[in-house]
Amino acid sequence: MIYAFDSNTISYLLRGEGNVAKYFARVIAQKGAGYAIPPMAVFEIKRWLLDKPTKVTRAYLSAFIDLLEPVRDKAAIDTAVWEKAAEIYIALKQRGQLIGDVDILIAGYCLENGYELVTRNTGDFKRIDGLIIHNWYD
């Protein structure tokens, strides 16, 4: 199984918050398990880390680059992801349950690639049919 990390999961992992590091260590140890970082989350995290450079955020940036390096090939996004995201958008709009565009794109990325999403933002993502969600924080 491949777990895709939402931006909040990555920030918790970098800051050592919640149970994220414990679950992450378990995933790395499991045979056949791995992780991915959606390109939208790469954007959100890197933007956050570059916005206010401090000694702490530089350390986080270094740790983030180390986290990203082994999964760069899984960070690609193709037309199928954009199409899946458009379908998700329409389904949510028709139900009057729209969420943010980045979250829709992350969901499309996960569904199109068969990844399970790790996020603390379960309220928004649970609206998306077929998306498997895990909360490693609590």
- Would you kindly state where each structural domain of the chain is located, as residue ranges? 2-134
Query: Would you identify the CATH topology of the domain 2-134?
Result: Rossmann fold (3.40.50)
Q: pLDDT for 120-138, tens place per residue?
A: 999 999 999 999 999 999 9
β-bridge mates for residue 34, sequence order:
2
DSSP for 15-76, please give it.
HT-TTHHHHHHHHHHSTT-EEE--HHHHHHHHHHHHHS--HHHHHHHHHHHHHHGGGGGGG-
Average pLDDT over residues 69-73: 89
State residue 64's pLDDT score: 96
CB 27 within 8 A of CB 35: yes
Q: Which candidate, 32, 43, 16, 20, places its Cα nearest to that of 118?
A: 20
Q: Which residues contact 102 (CB under 8 A, 6 or more apart)?
A: 40, 44
Q: Is the pLDDT of residue 72 over 90?
A: no
pLDDT band at 98 (very low <50, low <70, confident <90, very high): very high
The confidence score (pLDDT) of residue 69 equals: 92
pLDDT in tens, 55-70: 988 999 999 999 999 9
Q: Which residue type sits at 83?
A: E
